[in-house]
Amino acid sequence: MSFDLVLFGGTGDLAWRKLMPALFQSFRHGTLPAHGRIIGVARDDLSDDDYRALIRSRFDAVEGDKRPNDEEFRRFAELLHYQRVDLSKPQDFAALAEKLLARDADSLVMYVATAPALFTQVVEQIAAARLNGPKTRVVLEKPLGHDLASNRAINQAVGRVLAENQVFRIDHYLGKPSVQNLFAMRFGNALFEPIWRREYIANIQITIAEDLGVEKRGAFYDQTGALRDMVQNHALQLVCAIAMEPPINAHADAIRDEKLKVLRSLKRWNPETLGLHTVRGQYTAGTAYGARVPGYLEEPGVDPDSRTETFVALRTEIENWRWAGVPFYIRTGKRLSSRDARIEVNFKPTPHAIYDTPQGSFNRLVINLQPKDGLELHLMAQGQGSRKRSGSAEQLAPVQADLDFDKRFGSERVGAYERLLLDVLDGRLNLFVRSDEQEAAWRWVEPILEYWKNESRPPRSYAAGTWGPSASSAMIARDGFYWSEEA
């Protein structure tokens, strides 16, 4: 299968930091289809050789075992080409179209790795150059808009020139091997399904913790914040994966139909729940891995009076028969104690206690997403200590069964962007987000944004290197539930 993959923003951060390494790994693994071209597009005046040299220099920042040697890069570089395009000039798109149509590849992928404000302009120019034919697939990076209105405007503009099955709205969390195993655990096994419901589950807690600050993205992040950057997309997609009903088959729309039902069932916000069940925070100076680090307001590009949140904790419920009354907790933030993403399913205690168990012990399923990939099942077991006297309850102790997928399948696994790029080339939409999913997520998030915009109190402070504002733990304590802070 021949393909042309056009990277708008081909000299940008995402292209060299994520996309090119993913494409190279696919090339190295032999999974990238033959007869392909990768065409970087940007405003810089570069030749093909200049572009290849630029990408080669960027690979120096890639993890050691993922860097190409000279011979590997020489062969990979044969796929790399460059085209100068000013997004505001139709004649530049016409020149790009001439280059693409002359080859007439089996599939044409347009990856729009630009600022979201440029998405509409790029897609309209693609259509004006008659590059929106049935072979074309357009990939749109997140964030897709700044709010519901801007998201809807982008989707409407895209929908005027492309069919829905030509649009691949990417959320790289859906490409992670650990999230694939989440779907496999739920829908490839019968073990948990009978107890995957309100009668047996006390609460579900989702944590996406980052140990880094905003790094060099201060100006971007200050206009975005943790709610838009992580909750509206990644965290809600995890909620969907954990809570959705089994789809009727593995086809894209069957899966996305079930995810949409979850998003539409999320409990609506009101002034009382917005005050009780949402917490936002902003990190101050602290210590990360033994070194002093600045606070958010001291980061380059950040407004010193900024009220942008770097931490979010939420409590919500899903109002349907399976999950009614079960709290779902979401926590995400920057400059937290460690890099850690996991889902914890906490089960209700036994209905009648005949054993003596440590206070606070309960059955728990932990789905580790990063940096470790696997499952932990926390159970109670009887130890082999001295016997209890007659009439006294036997003492139980917690034990843990650990299923480490990295050890089972090897560490060299298909990365998120590699998996998703191959799916785009294959035309598989299963791991991409449909427009109505995005709008439903924005519709649920917007009342929180509006509430915080009008709130007089600034974000709660938390020191870098901790687990966020104490208010997030207090919110859960009100329900009498436990929020793990294990790394």
d(CA 17, CA 55): 10
User: What's the full length of the chain, in residues?
Assistant: 487
d(CA 301, CA 258): 40
Which residues are designated catalytic? 234
d(CA 131, CA 109): 10
Helix (H) or strand (E) holding 206: strand 201-209
Three-state secondary structure call for residue 82? strand
For residue 279, count CB atoms less than 10 angstroms from its CB and return exposed for 0-12, middle for 13-18, buried for 19 or more. Answer: buried
d(CA 22, CA 204): 32
Q: Cα 68 to chain center, whole Å?
A: 27
Strand pairing report for 460-463 and 278-284: parallel
d(CA 278, CA 445): 11
CB 296 within 8 Å of CB 324: no
Q: How does DSSP classify residue 286?
A: E
Residue 22 tokens read as 């993913």
For the chain, give percent helix, strand, coil, nearest 5: 40, 25, 35
